[in-house]
Structure 1
């Protein structure tokens, strides 16, 4: 698109990017303003930064948006970008007719608590995610891109959850999950539920890392679709005007009589993921200040999940492994999407411990759980992090949580006996099948792992599950739904030997 004297079309919305360049926050502001537009909507971007002349057209080509025209008066530039193609623009749905965003809702009222079924000893459960049907993934993309209504999206997701429930029932699980069918990933989905937070494509963030080309190559090598995976970005003070996952529990409890478990990204993971100085510091002076709001939001959600009757509320903190193990690879791991810089491991672990304890403070400990693994973005064991729990177990033991659900089947996790250092009054969940392994473990092999767990922790404390979820990222499942069902069935069949 060549330089024009003036724009031939009037913009629907616009903003002034000042002197920001694409690698210093401009792309995030563009995404903030363009995502709410319908296809064919026009966004005007004002800029005084010369590098935008080349970078913005490249971004448009990468994302499938059209640079309609641009003007220049002195240093002041004006770019007119169409969401999608200009040919898609329809006067009937032009953004000029779109109403402004609704104000943030008043604080949610506490619901009437319902009883949660107890979790039996030797309970079999999934960690969380389950492979989504292709039609569910297509609906998810259409919803995020504004091509599918929220009501239609949840109707589709309800059908997907029913299939997950049926598969788990057939496998013989004791504690039910909904397979995280409504989520694009185990963690970033939170951005679509919080006020002043937004999901943006990972490709938009490549300019923010030290070496974009190297990081992009790393993502390709790890089968991470940077154009499909989305990352949370904070544009203002975080607040919660609707549930993060309580609606998932409501539907799941209506679909099954068994105890239910729901997973949430932990406070340290969310803080590491959301803190990006080029944009987050417009709302927060420091990541500690951001973390305080994340803790508040998670405590509000945890209380609602308890009231909704969830038997186990699991907090995922895989980034703890990145803190202690990624240094050996001398590069940042994408296992959690944590793009921000971190302090030395001992400081990061202490920060994570304090955040978790702040979330759990005063809550019924027996219904909370903590999950840790070493990365679950690909079935390739060779690129995942490795190391025993030795550098982590001391920190884990200081977290006041009711259960630890830990990756233990893969040799990358070390020996299970080190978990004896965890508190005696906490339940211990051990991975007894490896979701990355393309073969289904033998019942005898699973039973042997269960026996070892009983010998170490006792029947009443032991919980049983895969090492991690079966589809951490919606677009990049670790295995098929049939394979997932067979792995859970192998655990259930092995557990049956100990219930005679």
Structure 2
């Protein structure tokens, strides 16, 4: 895109990206600032890294956001991007969102003792139970995406999730299952949902991984072949050591227990799967020296959760 003398539209939010490139943390900052915006609102960021001018338009193309203009003064470039197409800018873009504070690394607390695991309810041989997630209503899927993007409060999300969980549990009880689940109604994905519950981890769309792959063209083609938009499939990204200051799934268990006395099953992804999806070169290696170090913290966190469950 040719450089403009100045941006012709005022931004609704802005931040300084410094010398970060797209594959080394800049996209995490962009995602953090653009997610809370309404469609049609504008984000401006500055960067002194020359590669951003080539990589950022590809990210915009993959995510469906429109690059409005680029300016340059000496080494510093300024990018103005619209959330979604610029044509969506209208009355909804009039309200300016609150400024997004830079994401700080949360200190990690490792408990010295853990409670004993709770007793397991007796389950009959050949018990009937669900495997995997229960179909989510459209309004629950919408709530998940709104919540991940910061446009739906925790309280409103939980109220919506409770309604969806109630429907899933009632359907299982009508079918006569021996062990019920919450249907994973709160989760956007079986494994990556953990990233939204951990300290120093955030979920980013698959499209944000574009600068990290060896063959961007092939990656773009694969993303276009998905049965859901790649911008709606999110992947955990680390920006510090993992911590567990809130439960991963205990709240899911409590929600089901409030609805039935039937034995309840809560599924957790294993440490191998979580470590594999969380390790990304140029991002994870800022917090961990190796995959093995990351795996150690993943095992610790899962052990803490299992004890509380």
1:95 maps onto 2:94 in alignment:
no
Aligned to 1:60: 60
* 1:198/1:233 contact within 8 Å kept: yes
- Distance of aligned partners of 1:164 and 1:14 in 2 relative to their CA distance in 1, 3 Å threshold: same
- Partner residue in 2 for 1:15: 16
Aligned to 2:46: 45
Which among 197, 202, 207 is matched to residue 201 of structure 2? 197
Structure 2 residue matching 1:301: 3-state secondary structure? helix
Tell me the residue number matched to 2:261. Answer: 257
| Higher mean C-alpha displacement, 271-280 vs 214-223 | 214-223
Shift of 1:171: 1.6
Aligned positions of 1:419-498 closer than 5 A: none
Q: Which residue of 1 aligns with 2:166?
A: 162
Could you say which residue in structure 1 is the equivalent of 2:306? 302
Q: Are 2:16 and 2:45, in contact at CA under 8 Å, matched by a contact in 1?
A: yes
Can you give the 5+ residue segments of structure 2 that lack an aligned partner in the other structure? none
TM-score under structure 1 length normalisation: 0.54
Cα 1:224–1:83 shift into 2, 3 Å: closer
Task: Please give the alpha-carbon distance, in whole angstroms, between the structure 2 residues aligned to 1:114 and 1:235.
Answer: 33
Greater relative contact order (CA < 8 Å, ≥ 6 in sequence): 2
Deviation at 1:134, TM superposition (A): 1.4
Q: Is the 8 A contact 2:13 2:33 kept in 1?
A: no
- Quickly say closer, same or farther: Cα 1:216–1:5, change in 2 above 3 A: closer
Contact 1:198 1:232 (C-alpha < 8 Å) held by counterparts = yes
Is the partner of 2:179 in helix, strand or coil? Answer: coil
Partners of 2:267 and 2:71 lie apart in 1 by: 49
Cα displacement string for residues 108-130 of structure 1 (whole angstroms, at most 9, x for unaligned residues): 98789764422222111112311
Normalising by structure 2, report the TM-score.
0.83
- Looking at structure 2, the residues matched to 272 and 238 of structure 1 have their Cα atoms a distance apart, in angstroms, of 15
Work out whether 1:27 is the aligned partner of 2:30.
no
Provide the residue aligned with 1:136 in structure 2.
140
- CA root-mean-square deviation: 3.0
Q: 1:171 to 1:220 in 2, by over 3 A?
A: farther
**1:201-234 superposed Cα distances (whole Å, 9 cap, x missing partner):** 1122134223233344445556353222111111
Does residue 293 of structure 1 match 2:301? no
Q: In 1, are the aligned partners of 2:179 and 2:265 still within 8 Å (CA)?
A: yes
Distance 2:241 2:110 in 1: 17
Question: How far, CA to CA, are the matches of 2:183 and 2:240 in structure 1?
Answer: 31
How far apart are residue 65 of structure 1 and its match?
3.3
**1:246 Cα deviation from its structure 2 partner:** 0.7
Deviations 1:391-447 (A, max 9, x none): xxxxxxxxxxxxxxxxxxxxxxxxxxxxxxxxxxxxxxxxxxxxxxxxxxxxxxxxx
Return the alpha-carbon distance in structure 2 between the equivalents of residues 27 and 183 of structure 1.
23
Partner of 1:368: none
* Counterpart position of 1:269: 273
Distance 1:66 1:217 in 2: 19
What's the offset of the Cα at 1:132?
Answer: 0.7
Query: Over residues 475-495 of structure 1, what are the superposed CA-to-partner deviations in whole Å (9 max), with x where a residue is unaligned?
Result: xxxxxxxxxxxxxxxxxxxxx
Alignment of 1:373-388 (within 5 A): none
Q: Does 1:119 align with 2:123?
A: yes
Summarize deviations over 1:236-280 as a string: whole Å, max 9, x none: 111111111110000111111111111111111111101111111
For structure 1, which segment, 284-293 or 110-119, has the greater mean C-alpha deviation from structure 2 after superposition? 110-119
Native 8 Å contact 2:239 2:284 kept in 1: yes
Deviations 1:159-217 (A, max 9, x none): 11111111111222111111100001101111111111111111221342232333444
Q: 1:247 to 1:4 in 2, by over 3 A?
A: same
Partner of 1:448: none
Paired with 2:237 and 2:110, the residues of 1 have a C-alpha distance of 23
Q: Is the 8 A contact 2:143 2:157 kept in 1?
A: yes
Structure 1 residue 43: deviation in Å?
Answer: 4.1
The Cα shift of 1:150 comes to 1.6
Other structure's SS at 2:202 match = strand
